[in-house]
Structures are given as C-alpha cells and as structure tokens.
C-alpha cells in the first residue's frame, strides 16, 4: 500500500480519536497521535495498527498554543477529536471543561493549522448542537457544563478561522449518540444535513466516515450529521462504501451565526 500524507489526530486517547487513528493508518496514512497522555496512547494503539512505522506519538494540550505549531508540522490534515471529560467546575479548577476544550481548544487548533498551512481540518462535534429544544441538547447541555453550547461555539469559531484563511478547508462531522461497538458498515449508517438526526452510531463507523471525507471533495467546507440507520428504514439502494454515503453532502452555503 502506498503511503499517504500525514494526518494529526488531536485527542488520540479518546474513544473516537483512537478509532480515527486506526482507520487512518489502515488506509495507508501516516498518523501523528496527539494526546496529553502520550504513553497511554502508545500502549493503547501501537499493538493494534498494521504498520507501527506509520504512527508516531506526541504530547499536546489544546490550551497550550505554543506547542501546536510543532505538533502540526508537515501535516496535510488534522482531525479534532478532543472533547471535555469534565462538566461543571468552579472556574479555574480544571483545564478540561467544554469551554476550554470544545470551544477554545478547537479555535486554537484551527488557528495553528492555518498558520502551519494544513490543507484541511475535520472537526468532530455533536448532532443536535443547533436543535436547542431537543432532548439530547437539553440533557447534555445541563449535565455536562453547557457542552452542546460550547461545541456549537467551537464550530462557529472554526468556520471563522476558515473565512480568514480560505486555503484551509474544514469539515464538521456531527455524530449522534456514540457507542463502542465494531463498525457496522456504510449500509447501516445514514448521513444528513440540517441537524435532524441523533440515533446511535458506532465510533468505528464515525471514524471511517471521517477518513472517507478525505476522498470526497464535496465534504470540504461542509457540515453534516451521521447516525445509525434504523432497521425499519428501506434497505434498497444503500451505499456500498463510506465514500458513496457522502455523495449527497453539500458544502455549507454560509456560516450560521447562532
């Protein structure tokens, strides 16, 4: 397999970040697994990849802007898979809150990526971040430190960085309720736009969709949702590949302000 360009995965020790590292490496990409826990990332991933020489491990903290330039050096693409594990905290007591990671961290990485001439940023957000009356929004936002609000602000921030640096494309992927199961395949996944779906979907399938975005041009400067396909839906004319699944995605007309 011919070796492809370098992709940096921010948040490589998270459940989704780990799947993205494995999906990218299996496709022949060189991967830089970036995490605050370098040794954990190495122990977690090195024995699972097909070719360990294609993966290197670096320390990153998205709140430390000074280190991001070296982390992103020579990268063609960056995946932002980091998300806060802390919810409500007294201000100043934790650096792992939604405001710091999902909002400010996303902007820090986008700005550093633009400066490093990275061609593309894929930001993993969440379904229902604009659907404020939905149960997922109301529950997650109240239970986890306004995480849905801050994820949406992170999206807007990334788009604004792109507007100032149009040579860096973005893709915003909004998965539904994430679960830890093996990938079910493109026929078991649905892609939509308009923030209307939030069904269960495996992290492995989301990672493969993110990887497929690199081969599908119309996903550049686009925002879309991904969820598991309900068994009651029609099973005819289903996509055979993740790339085919993305064929109907349309680039964003203009950034939303709310």
Q: What percent of the chain has pLDDT over 70?
A: 91
Q: Which of 194, 195, 191 is nearest to 227 (CA)?
A: 191
Query: pTM for this one?
Result: 0.93
Q: How far lies 190's CA from each of 4, 77, 154, 172, 250, in Å? A: 28, 24, 24, 16, 15
Q: Number of structural domains, the chain?
A: 1
The length of the chain, given as a count of residues: 258
Q: Which of 1, 65, 13, 14 is nearest to 175 (CA)?
A: 14
Whether 104 shows a pLDDT value over 80: the answer reads yes
Whether 93 shows a pLDDT value over 80: the answer reads no
H helix or E strand, kind and range, residue 192: strand 189-192
Residue 76 confidence (pLDDT): 98
Please report whether residue 254 resides in a domain.
no
Please report whether residue 250 resides in a domain.
no
Please report whether residue 203 resides in a domain.
yes
Instruction: Retrieve residue 88's tokens.
Output: 């409500």
pLDDT tens profile 105-149: 999 999 999 999 999 999 999 999 999 999 999 999 998 999 999
More confident residue, 91 or 202: 202
Please report whether residue 253 resides in a domain.
no
Please report whether residue 252 resides in a domain.
no
If 0-12 CB within 10 Å is exposed, 13-18 middle and 19+ buried, where does residue 217 land? Answer: exposed
pLDDT tens profile 148-174: 999 999 999 999 999 999 999 999 999
> What's the domain range around 64?
6-245
pLDDT tens profile 3-15: 689 999 999 999 9
Please report whether residue 16 resides in a domain.
yes
Please report whether residue 18 resides in a domain.
yes
Q: What is the CATH classification number for the domain harbouring 92?
A: 3.40.50.720
Q: What sign does the dihedral 192-252-4-75 (CA atoms) show? A: negative
Please report whether residue 251 resides in a domain.
no
């Amino acid at each position: 397999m011919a070796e492809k360009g370098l992709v940096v995965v921010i948040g490589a020790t998270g459940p989704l970040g780990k799947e993205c590292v494995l999906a990218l490496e299996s496709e022949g990409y060189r991967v830089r697994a970036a995490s605050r826990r370098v040794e954990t990332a190495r122990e977690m991933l090195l024995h699972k990849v097909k070719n360990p020489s294609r993966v290197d491990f670096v320390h990153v903290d998205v709140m430390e802007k000074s280190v991001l330039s070296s982390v992103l050096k020579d990268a063609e693409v960056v995946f932002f898979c980091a998300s806060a594990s802390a919810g409500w905290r007294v201000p100043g007591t934790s650096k792992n809150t939604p405001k710091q990671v999902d909002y400010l961290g996303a902007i820090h990485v986008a700005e550093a990526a633009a400066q490093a001439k990275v061609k593309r940023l894929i930001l993993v957000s969440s379904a229902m971040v604009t659907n404020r009356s939905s149960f997922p929004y109301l529950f997650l936002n109240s239970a986890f430190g306004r995480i849905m609000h801050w994820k949406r602000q992170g999206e807007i921030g990334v788009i604004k960085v792109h507007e100032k640096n149009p040579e860096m494309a973005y893709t915003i992927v909004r998965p539904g309720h994430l679960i830890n199961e093996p990938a079910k395949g493109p026929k078991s996944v649905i892609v939509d736009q308009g923030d209307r779906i939030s069904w269960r979907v495996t992290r492995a399938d989301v990672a493969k969709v993110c990887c497929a975005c690199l081969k599908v041009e119309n996903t550049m400067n686009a925002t879309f949702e991904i969820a598991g396909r309900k068994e009651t839906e029609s099973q005819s004319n289903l996509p055979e590949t993740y790339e085919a699944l993305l064929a109907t995605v349309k680039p964003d007309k203009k950034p939303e302000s709310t």
